[in-house]
Amino acid sequence: MRSPSAGRLAITGARLVDGDGDHGIGDVLLEDGVIQAIGEGAGAGAATVVDAGGALLTPAFLDLHAHLREPGQEVKEDLASGLAAAAAGGFGTVVSMANTTPTVDEPGLVAELVEKAARLPGARLRPGAALSHGLRGETLTDFAALQAAGAVMITDDGIPVANGRLMRSACEYAAELGLVVQTHSEDPSLRGDGVMHEGEVSQELGLPGNPDAAEAVMVFRDCEVARLTGARVHIAHVTSRRAMQVIEHFKALGAPVTCEVTPHHLTLTDAALRGFDPVFKVAPPLRSEADVAYLREALRRGTVDSIGTDHAPHTRAEKERDLMAAPFGLPNIEVAFPVLYTRLVRPGELELADLLRLLQDGPAAVMGWPRPRLQAGAPADLVLLDLETERAVDPARFASKARFSPWAGERLRGWPTLTVVEGAVAFRLEEGAG
Ligand SMILES: [Zn+2]
């Protein structure tokens, strides 16, 4: 089991912030996996004391979209490295994707993940399970049995559900069970063999493009199916203005649709592909500057429900192939908050409270989970954030097995220095970093 905190742990002198606001400087006292007391002087008498020195203490983040690669692809990542990486990024809870080998499409596989993760330090695992057997898009998995085994979400993420009738059946079934269906919304026929966003840059480079229409068309279908069935459909990794406008349209109609954007689609554009570096090859692709600007506007307007990382580790060797052959995806869970804090909050593009909402209350609301709060009796899942010290991104120090990053060498602020999960220290920054 996750080792229970040895006696009482106190974090003192922290700036306490949660979805209800900024509660000023105070202490928290943690015991038995929950917050026992909070406020000025609450930390007195604890066995272990961490002096926060005025750093920001807030509920640990929730990531509804991470690829932890177990079972079967442990060369890329495994539960231990993935959950440690999540904790290093300030995440206390992670929903794992089912596109593993074998696919997580049987209740026994879900149960195995739950059992194994419970014995590991790091973030808490809440597994997602496949929508179709083998992600083949042909037959539905047994959602009820998967849910009973511990699956919290149904998703074929990685592969779009091409068949509309199967998507409808999945949503009808999920609605009965109150399960969220997360979609990878890209029309496979329109996407074709595109390796990057279709636009000026793809033309200039002579690379096959994946048009924004491929995303917008499938988002439209998925929103219609949500409206038709009443299922809670969460659109993963929205990348384009066109797709976001479709979601806005359906949200205005009251359709039960929520959506996610990723740190990379908010901070990088297709221009990054000019160096032909496969680290920037992701699916759906990095889009144009105008798309990124629109996604940022959607964050400010509140259209976006959650930021999910789509942490997608691969081996270096795989990502060092040429651009056409390299796999899609990049690791980012350890740098997600610093990247977004440095690129969006510090320049004044996004309020800190909004960024926190997109990593805490937002994903909790998508899933129907309790909103994380700093209050007595709440789970002791917390992250301490140093908003001031600049540190360079050093992939060699990643807990993830995927030790490369599009932000390697960049100096960022907003690093997690301590992550607590169920009252136990899941991550502590070793100084000397940066
Ligand atoms: Zn994904």
Ligand 1 centroid – CA 12 distance (Å): 37
Q: CA-CA distances (angstroms) from residue 389 to 58, 338, 433?
A: 18, 11, 11
Please check whether residue 434 lies inside any domain of the structure. no
- What pLDDT, in 10s, does the model give residues 297-338? 999 999 999 999 999 999 999 999 999 999 999 999 999 999
Number of residues assigned to the chain: 434
* 11 CA distance to ligand 1 middle (Å): 35
pLDDT by residue (tens digit) across 173-197?
Answer: 999 999 999 999 999 999 999 999 9
State the virtual CA torsion across 284, 287, 291, 297 in degrees, nearest 10: 70
CA distance readout (Å), 149 to 84, 143, 368: 23, 10, 18
Per residue in 240-267, pLDDT tens? 999 999 999 999 999 999 999 999 999 9
- Which residue among 367, 386, 419 closes a domain? 367
CATH of residue 237's domain is: 3.20.20.140
Q: Which value, in Å, is the radius of gyration of the alpha carbons in the chain?
A: 21
Residue 1, in any domain of the structure: no
pLDDT per position as a tens digit, 5-16: 457 999 999 999
Which residue is catalytic, options 157, 212, 222, 310? 310
Are both 42 and 72 inside the same structural domain? Answer: no
Q: What residues make up the domain containing 397?
A: 9-57+376-428
Has 156 been annotated as catalytic? no
Nearest alpha-carbon partner for 331 in 316, 344, 347: 316
Answer yes or no: do 420 and 306 share one domain: no
Domain assignment present for residue 398? The answer is: yes
Integer Cα distance of 393 and 222 in angstroms: 37
| 141 token code pair | 């998995």
Cα–ligand 1 centroid distance for 355 (angstroms): 21
In this structure, the answer to whether residues 319 and 230 fall within a common structural domain is yes
The model's pTM is 0.97
Mean pLDDT of 142-161: 98
| Phi, psi of 181, deg, nearest 5 | -105, 120
Could you give the percent of the chain with pLDDT greater than 70?
98
Shortest CA distance to 399 belongs to which of 424, 359, 430, 360? 430
Distance 188 CA to ligand 1 centre (A): 15
Give the distance (Å) from ligand 1 centre to CA of residue 310: 5
Protein residues within 5 Å, CB atom, of ion ligand 1: 157, 310
- Phi and psi of 34, rounded to 5°? -130, 165
How far away, in angstroms, is 237 Cα from ligand 1 center? 8
Q: Quick one: tokens of 410?
A: 């960049």
Distances (CA, A) of 229 to 164, 172, 302, 361, 369: 12, 6, 24, 25, 22
DSSP result, 332-392: -TTTHHHHHIIIIITTTSS-HHHHHHHHTHHHHHHHTPPPP--STTSB--EEEEESS--EE
CA of 222 to the centre of ligand 1 (A): 17
Among residues 321, 341, 367, the one where a domain terminates is 367
Mean pLDDT of the chain: 96
CATH number at residue 402: 2.30.40.10
Give the rounded distance of the alpha carbon of 421 from its chain centre.
17
- The reported pLDDT for the residue numbered 2 is 56
> Is 4 among the domain residues?
no
- As for how many domains the chain has, the answer is 2
The backbone torsions φ and ψ at residue 356, rounded to the nearest 5 degrees and listed phi first, read -65, -40
Query: What pLDDT score does 1 carry?
Result: 46
In 239-303 the beta strands, taken as DSSP E runs, fall at 257-261
- Looking at residue 81, its amino acid is S
249 C-alpha to ligand 1 centroid (Å): 24
Pairing of strands 424-428, 415-421: antiparallel
In a domain, 433, yes or no: no
Mean of the pLDDT values across residues 206-226?
98
- The answer to whether residue 78 is domain-embedded is yes
In Å, how far are 88, 280, 298, 351 from 294, measured between CA atoms? 30, 20, 6, 16
Q: Tell me how far the alpha carbon of residue 267 lies from the centroid of ligand 1, in angstroms.
A: 17
Q: Quick one: 352 and 407 in the same domain?
A: no
